[in-house]
């Protein structure tokens, strides 16, 4: 998995062509299809993924996204945003050969965000969660096939499931639709079962208490997390995951405008962790991908470009290029 550096997914602004050019220019090891939530309804994490769902149309209500009886304006807007992004990808990636990362909202964060037509969130109904997961699996499969047709030079699709809500789902802290209660915690085996339905995913979670051990048991390809949130108690499950063959996307640069550290400072975050875990230094470049701590939607375009470029430089330094 010698990808070096990549991004989490979201970018600032509304120009998807410019975002694509930045990604492919700054991250040749593992570019991705960027998301631009500033475009509004349907471009956010939940709406964008809802556009992929098969036979589960959604709409926006004052409380957020909700299942709908038929596709309406909100659903069509989300589908249109994604279609334009794929058109842009086809143009910008013309002639590209190599891996490509695609990001979608994971099933548990999605179930905690979308409401049933006349009731609570989908997370409150196990049958609804199963239907949602099956729909998402089929939608992701269709999405991957579409990208492969549009960009025939792609040698590998790296699927990233964004699961910022997963710790809350497992801990039972997700609020009900009314906001006055909390939904019951989901058993870890159920979370594992759902995640296993996706092909070799990277699971991204920039929230505290990433369930690393559970993700290892779920057989994920890699875990993507914010290195600044790690504590010493996280190191044992990280070490066990690495020994089991799980790789890590390590968030080492802030997702918001700040002073960019020197390459050596960024590299030290990764090398210090690796040394404490007791793994051979030469394995680091093949097991760790450097990323921002989370998406870049809240950053300025100039910072987003500079941050991705600095990550690329750091990855080259770690490889000794």
User: So where are the chain's domains?
Assistant: 16-35+87-319
3-state SS, residue 162: strand
Residue 78 has pLDDT above 80, yes or no: yes
pLDDT tens digits, one per residue of 140-196: 999 999 999 999 999 999 999 999 999 999 999 999 888 889 999 999 999 999 999
**Angle between the N-to-C axes of helices 16-26 and 73-92, in degrees from 0 to 180, rounded to the nearest 10:** 40
pLDDT of residue 63: 86
Rounded Cα–Cα distance for residues 35 and 102 (Å):
10
CA dihedral 193, 194, 196, 202 (to 10 degrees): -130
Residue 129 has pLDDT above 90, yes or no: yes
3-state SS, residue 76: helix
Q: How many CB atoms lie within 10 A of CB 228?
A: 12
Q: Taking the model in full, what pTM does it have? A: 0.96
pLDDT tens digits, one per residue of 244-269: 999 999 999 999 999 999 999 999 99
Q: Check: CB of residue 198 under 8 Å from CB of residue 161.
A: yes
Sign of dihedral through CA atoms 124, 125, 131, 134?
Answer: positive
| CATH 3.40.190.10 holds for 16-35+87-319 | no
DSSP string, 105-145: E-HHHHHHHPBPTTSSBGGG-HHHHHHHHHHHHHHHHHHHH
Q: Which residues contact 242 (CB under 8 A, 6 or more apart)?
A: 248, 277, 279, 287
pLDDT of residue 2: 67
Judge residue 188's burial from the number of C-beta atoms within 10 Å of its C-beta, 0-12 exposed, 13-18 middle, 19 or more buried: middle
């Amino acid at each position: 998995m010698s990808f070096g550096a990549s991004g989490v997914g979201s970018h600032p602004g509304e120009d998807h062509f410019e975002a694509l050019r930045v990604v492919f220019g700054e991250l040749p090891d593992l570019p991705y299809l960027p998301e631009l939530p500033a475009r509004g309804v349907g471009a956010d994490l939940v709406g964008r993924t809802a556009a992929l769902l098969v036979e589960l149309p959604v709409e926006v209500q004052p409380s957020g996204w909700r299942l709908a009886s038929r596709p309406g304006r909100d659903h069509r807007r989300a589908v249109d945003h994604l279609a334009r992004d794929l058109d842009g990808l086809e143009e910008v990636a013309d002639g590209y050969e190599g891996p490509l990362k695609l990001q979608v909202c994971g099933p548990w964060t999605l179930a905690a965000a979308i409401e049933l037509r006349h009731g609570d969130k989908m997370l409150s109904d196990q049958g609804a969660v199963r239907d949602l997961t099956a729909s998402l699996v089929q939608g992701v499969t269709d999405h991957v096939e579409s990208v492969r047709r549009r960009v025939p030079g792609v040698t590998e699709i790296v699927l990233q499931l964004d699961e910022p809500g997963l710790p809350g789902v497992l801990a039972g802290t997700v609020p009900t639709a009314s906001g006055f209660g909390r939904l019951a915690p989901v058993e870890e085996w159920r979370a594992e079962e759902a995640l296993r339905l996706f092909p070799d995913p990277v699971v991204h979670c920039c929230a505290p208490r990433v369930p690393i051990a559970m993700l290892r048991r779920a057989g994920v390809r890699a875990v993507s997390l914010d290195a600044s949130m790690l504590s010493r108690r996280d190191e044992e499950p990280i070490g066990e995951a690495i020994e089991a063959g799980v790789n890590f996307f390590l968030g080492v640069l802030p997702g918001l405008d700040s002073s960019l550290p020197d390459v050596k400072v960024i590299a030290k975050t990764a090398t210090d962790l690796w040394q404490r875990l007791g793994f051979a230094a030469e394995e680091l470049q093949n097991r760790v991908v450097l990323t921002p701590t989370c998406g870049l939607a809240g950053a300025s375009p100039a910072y987003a470009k500079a941050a991705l470029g600095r990550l690329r430089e750091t990855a080259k330094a770690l490889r000794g290029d």
